[in-house]
Amino acid sequence: MQEIRTDICVIGAGSGGLSVAAGAVQMGARVVLIEGAEMGGDCLNAGCVPSKALIAAAEAAEVQRASVRFGVAAVEPVVDFGAVKDHVAGVIAGIAPVDSQERFEGLGCEVIRDWARFVSPKAVEAGGRRILARRFVIATGSRAVVPPVPGIESVPYLTNETVFGLRERPGHLLILGGGPIGMEMAQAHRRLGCAVTVIEAGRALGREDPEAAAVVLEALRAEGVRIVEGKGVVRLRALEPGVEAVLADGTVIAGTHLLVAAGRRVALEGLGLEAAGVAHDARGVTVGANLRSTSNRRVFAVGDAAGGMQFTHLAGYHAGIVIRQAVLGLPAKARTDHIPRVTFTDPELAQVGPDEAAARAIWGERLTVSRSEFHHNDRAQAMRAGGGFAKVMIAKGRVVGATVVGPHAGEVLAPLALAVSARMKVSALAGVVLPYPTLAEIGKRAAGAYFSPKLFDNPALKRFVGLVQRILP
C-alpha cells in the first residue's frame, strides 16, 4: 500500500473542509483532501445552493401572481417544472468549478476520491493509500434524519438529497417536519403549483422567536400551504400512487409525494474513529472550544462534525479557527454567540445571537428590547412589503442579539450581525448614516428607539432644554 506523509489531511470536501484545504495549502502546508462523494458537499449539491435556486424560481412565479398590487395585471404563471430543475442544475454547475477536484489539485492539494477510514491515531486509509498526517480535520457534514415512523420503510420518500432531482411536479407534497428546510421547501413548491401540507409534531419553526415565526406562518398559510402543528405522524402507508399519513389524533392525509425534513445527523459512520481514539457521540466529535478532539490532539472537527449548529457559514468560520492553530501555530477558540441564521421563506426570518426569550434568561432586567416595524420603513412600503419587524436586544449598552422578520431579512441582518460580532455599543448602530430609502434602516431605527425614552420622555431634559432656549442669543 502506498504511504503518503503530509502536514494536514482533510476528510470531507464540503464548505468547511474545502476552506481548510484551500487556506492551508496556499499558506505553504502540504495537504491531502479526501472526499468519497461529490466535491462541494451537501451545501453545493443538495442543500443551500439548489434550495435557494428553487426558491428564486418560485419567487419569479409568485411575482406574476402578485403584480396587481403594483398596477400590473396579474397572470397565473405557466411553470415548466423540468425547466425549473434545469435552472437548479445550472446554478450548481456554475458554482461547481470553485469546489472542483481540478481547482484544488491546481492549488497544490493531493485529492483522493474515496471514503476515508482511520486505522490508527496517526493514519487513515483511502483509495488504496495510507495517509500519515501531523493533523487531521474531520469535515464530513451531516445527512437527513429518517425518523422511525411505522411504515416509512415501505413508502417512497424524498430527502434534500433527492428532491432536487425530481422532474415531475408533485400533485400534493407532504412534508414531514416544520423546521426551516421544511418551510422553505413548502413555500417554494406551493408557488410552483403544488398542493403542500406540512406536518409538525411540535410547533412549526419551533426554534425561532415565536412572534417572528408567526409572521412567516401566516404568510405561508395565506399562500395556501396547509400547516398541521402539534400532531405527529404515527403511521405511513403506501398508496397507488402516493402515500398516506395517519396523525396522532386519527387524521388521515394523503399525498402524491413525501418529503422528509425532520432534522439532520452528523455523518461519522465508517470513519473508524475508535481506531483513532477520537471520542464522539450522536452529536458529533467531542471537541473543545478550539475545535480540537478532547482525546486525540492530532484531530480537529469543523462544521456539522463538530457537534454544534449546522450551518455552512459556521463551517467556514470553523475553518479559520483551525487554520490559525494547525497551520500558523496560534491559539484560537470558536464563539457561538455571534453566529447568524436565516430561514429563506418570504418573508425571511433572520436571527443573530440569542432571541428575546433566551436573552431575557441571560440578562434578566438588564435587557432592553428595542424594535421597529417594517410598515414604518419607506422602502418596504414602496415594495408593498410592510409586514414584519426588527428587534434589537441590548444589554449594558451593547447589541447582544437581533431578530428580523420581513423582506430580505437576511440582508437586513448584516449590520446587526456585525454589531453583535464586534460587541458594538448601541449608540454606534444608532449613529450610522445609511442611504435612504433602504430596508437596512429598520435596524438603525430599532437601535435609535432605545434612546427615545431618554430623549423624549425625560422631564429633566425638557427643563434643561427650556433653560438653554431662554439663554441662547
* DSSP-assigned letter for residue 170: P
Q: Which residues pair with 136 in a beta bridge?
A: 9, 299
Mean pLDDT of 106-111: 98
Residue type for 292, please? R
168 in a labelled binding site = no
106 in a labelled binding site = no
In the structure, how many helices (H) and strands (E) does the chain have? 16, 23
pLDDT tens readout for residues 327-360: 999 999 999 999 999 999 999 999 999 999 999 9
141 in a labelled binding site = yes
Which runs of consecutive H residues, i.e. helices, occur in 344-458? 356-363, 378-382, 409-421, 426-431, 441-449, 452-456
Residue 408 cell numbers, joined: 430580505
182 in a labelled binding site = yes
Contact 138, 272 (CB under 8 A): no
41 in a labelled binding site = no
| Helix-helix angle 409-421:441-449, to 10 degrees | 50
Residue 239 cell numbers, joined: 398508496
Average of per-residue pLDDT values in the chain = 96
pLDDT tens readout for residues 186-225: 999 999 999 999 999 999 999 999 999 999 999 999 999 9
Residue 452 pLDDT grade (very low, low, confident, very high; cuts 50, 70, 90): confident
Residue 473 pLDDT grade (very low, low, confident, very high; cuts 50, 70, 90): confident
Q: Is a pLDDT exceeding 80 seen at residue 12?
A: yes
Q: If you search the block for the grid coordinates 468560520, which residue do you land on?
A: 317
Say what the pLDDT of residue 224 is: 98
Q: How far apart are CA 181 and CA 205, in angstroms?
A: 10
What distances in angstroms separate CA 431 from CA 2, 294, 424, 445, 453, one per listed residue?
62, 44, 12, 10, 17
Residue 223 cell numbers, joined: 399562500
247, containing H or E segment: strand 243-247
pLDDT tens readout for residues 50-72: 999 999 999 999 999 999 999 99
Antiparallel, parallel or unpaired: β 299-301 and 129-138: parallel
Contact 175, 198 (CB under 8 A): yes
pLDDT tens readout for residues 454-468: 777 888 888 888 888
Q: How far apart are CA 439 and CA 461, in angstroms?
A: 32
Say what the pLDDT of residue 334 is: 97
pLDDT tens readout for residues 118-161: 999 999 999 999 999 999 999 999 999 999 999 999 999 999 99
293 in a labelled binding site = no
Mean pLDDT of 383-402: 96
177 in a labelled binding site = yes
42 in a labelled binding site = no
401 in a labelled binding site = no
Say what the pLDDT of residue 185 is: 98
Antiparallel, parallel or unpaired: β 129-138 and 2-11: parallel
179 in a labelled binding site = yes
Antiparallel, parallel or unpaired: β 398-406 and 389-395: antiparallel
Say what the pLDDT of residue 181 is: 97
Say what the pLDDT of residue 241 is: 86
184 in a labelled binding site = yes
87 alpha carbon, distance to own chain's centre: 22
What distances in angstroms separate CA 55 from CA 158, 184, 356, 425, one per listed residue?
18, 8, 28, 36
Mean pLDDT of 295-305: 97
Sequence-separated (6 or more) residues with CB below 8 Å from residue 269: none
Domains along the chain with CATH numbers: 2-144+265-326 (3.50.50.60), 152-262 (3.50.50.60), 347-456 (3.30.390.30)
